[in-house]
Chains A and B, each alone.
Chain A
Amino acid sequence: MAWGKRLCLLAAVLAAGMMATPLARAQDQAPDHQLHGQDGDDAVARGEYMARVADCGACHTVPGGAPFAGGMAFHLPTGTLYAPNITPDRQTGIGRYSEAEFSRALRRGIRRDGATLYPAMPYPSYARLTDADVHVLYVYFMQGVKPVTHAVAQDGMVWPMSMRWPLSIWRTLYAPDPEAVRRDMDRRTFADPLVARGSYLVEGPGHCGACHTPRALTMQEKALTAADGPLYLSGGDVVDGWRPVSLRGENRTGLGRWNEHDIVRFLATGRMPLGAAFGGMADAIGHGTQHMTDDDRLAIARYLKTLSPAAPMVAQGWTYDPAVTDALRAGDVSARGARAYVDRCAACHRTDGRGYPTTFPPLAGNPVVMDPRPDSLIRIVLEGNILRATRQAPSAFVMPGFAARMDDRAVADTVTFIRAAWGNDAPAVTGVDVARIRRTLSPGHPPASLPMN
């Protein structure tokens, strides 16, 4: 998960504004390793499934490292934060956690020693986890995960950013109380049990809103559930350079033209006829949704399709406009950006913008392309992207990055061209936009390890 800048902002806000007494630390008590009841392998398996649904591995497993041994770094200008080891190792992991302590960390964001967890840990969403799911997760992490002795560097941030006490204030103000959440959940009714399941998965363990819901200045998500109003999942702030799009029903920029089957397929394979996964969503699919059952993916899809557009429709719904296609096919590349598009992009995305889905995604009508914020589109052009292999789709595909071959002007022209062609109607981008994003390209691009097909 991409949390760097968000945490930095949060830390700045907190350090600047809040002064209060540190909370008393919880009593250090003997860990309770005895699990209740006869859980057996089934609970381990269900816990493993929930760990995938909750996408724990995305942060707590370093690529190529031991599962859940932690160490994923969040680089902040103020220091580096590392995801902790959550294997049952007693010294360096969570082996001393009782189930109650585990539950408190998960749902309330309170560490065993009483300190508050950075909200990179999505406890505002995990607050919705049922007792049963928390239990199987605990069983899984205690019995199904191999203990690994791996001391993760503690928050290497320097004072005052290293202080955790302001976090507890934030937590108190903005993280929901699990008891209240439960009452809310009980009050909401769903005609379709699949939608009910979907709401649980999306709002709870799936923590989709952590990326896809906009945040307030104080960094809390502006809505935590569908019941909180149309800001929920209406598109989030840029995370690690990628702008999470709206998952609501907007025709051009949301999921308005995706049907249930499209969403199910996307969650399973990262690819469907209208688009392909990139950025943080590739991680979410890789660690999480590709491992879900078809029923759960369908539940998510059906639930998402109940979310109305965030704003009343201002523009016409997207329809394909062949004017640009006709010009390019006639060899007319006089439009600004058209020549570069034909030279660099059209081989895969075609002069008609329809691409070759699901191998190479379409640009015509693609919500990412029409997003008001062009960050993702510009970033993909600059650094390329990998459509990763999944269990159901073992083929990975790579788009090359053009940072070294196109200057800011050329990228801006090309992206502007794409955003206005084939019925797309997004505003132009400038060389300044491109320069801003170029400055943030990670040194790791192009990726050191490419898919081997």
Chain B
Amino acid sequence: MQGLAGAAACSTVLAALPARSSPPASYAPRFFTPAEWAFLVAACDRLIPADENGPGALALDVPRFIDMQMDTPYAHGAQWYMQAPFVPGPDNLGYQLPHAPRDLYRRGIAGMDAHAATRHGRPFAGLAPALQDDLLRGAENGGMTFGDLPSTAFFDQLLANVMEGAFSDPVHGGNTGLGGWIMLGFPGARADFMDWVDRYGAHYPLGSVSISGETA
């Protein structure tokens, strides 16, 4: 567990690598390259840091979840309407880029690392947490573009998948130990509240359970 190490780390550019946990070394990413994986791990650790409120994205194996998702039809864009022409328009008319999630990650991570290198001389993963946060906020607020890719499109994709990884059923590779559900107080896949629906004010005492039957 990372504990508070990340938050407490000094914010100079050349700070030693912050102490942080990594996903289990046993997992070898199938989609992400080592450099991309380093970014993903570092970014996940900032988006959901471990703290007194519960585990962070790394303890929940969110990077593994995202890597596993990259092998699904969704990540290939099979669920999106991807017919040309791709015409830019106002934000409120929605996503209009030709990139499937896999492309968004490839381009977005390269773009983030390029920005990190330009500004700070190192890839994202090598920066102090405060600088990483600055870069992530910049991406979130649309402060950058990566070729034809606005940083917001990448950031929104990443954040959405991080949330999915932390809080979906562990069958998909994240939410290890049901840690995300325990943190929220979500019972999971039991899906039966007949005994509790009208016990007003009572505390629901049963722990979480996953589809596979893992309990916490």
Contacts and interface: CB of A to CB of B under 8 A. Distances in A.
B215 A351 contact: no
B212 interface: yes
Interface in B174-216: 190-192, 194-195, 204-206, 209, 211-213, 215
A331 B205 contact: yes
Contact of A342 (B206, B211, B212): B206
Interface in A337-363: 339-340, 342-344, 346-347, 350-351
A405 B190 contact: no
B209 A343 contact: yes
Contacts of B204: 331
Interface in B51-70: none
B206 A344 contact: no
- 7 interchain residue pairs of minimum CB distance: A331-B205, A347-B192, A343-B209, A405-B213, A329-B195, A343-B190, A405-B212
Interface of A: 328-329, 331, 333, 339-340, 342-344, 346-347, 350-351, 402, 405-406, 410
Given A331-B206, A333-B206, A344 B213 contact: yes
Nearest to A350: B194
Interface residues of B, number: 13
10 contacts: A329-B195, A342-B206, A344-B213, A346-B192, A347-B190, A347-B191, A347-B192, A347-B194, A350-B194, A406-B213
Given A331-B205, A331-B206, A340 B213 contact: yes
Contacts of A329: 195
Contacts of B195: 328-329, 351
Q: Which of A331, A344, A405 has the most CB of B within 10 A?
A: A331
A339 B194 contact: no
A121 to B, nearest CB: 44
Interface of B: 190-192, 194-195, 204-206, 209, 211-213, 215
A350 B196 CA distance: 12
Contacts of A402: 213
Given A331-B205, A331-B206, A333-B206, A343 B213 contact: yes
A350 B209 CA distance: 17
Contacts of B206: 331, 333, 342
A328 B195 CA distance: 9
B215 A339 contact: yes
Given A344-B213, A410-B213, 6 more contacts: A339-B215, A340-B213, A343-B190, A351-B195, A405-B211, A405-B213
Nearest to B191: A347
Contacts of A350: 194
Nearest to B203: A331
A326 B101 CA distance: 50
Contacts of B205: 331
B190 A342 contact: yes
Nearest to A339: B215
A80 B126 CA distance: 67
B205 to A, nearest CB: 3
Contacts of A347: 190-192, 194
Contacts of B192: 346-347
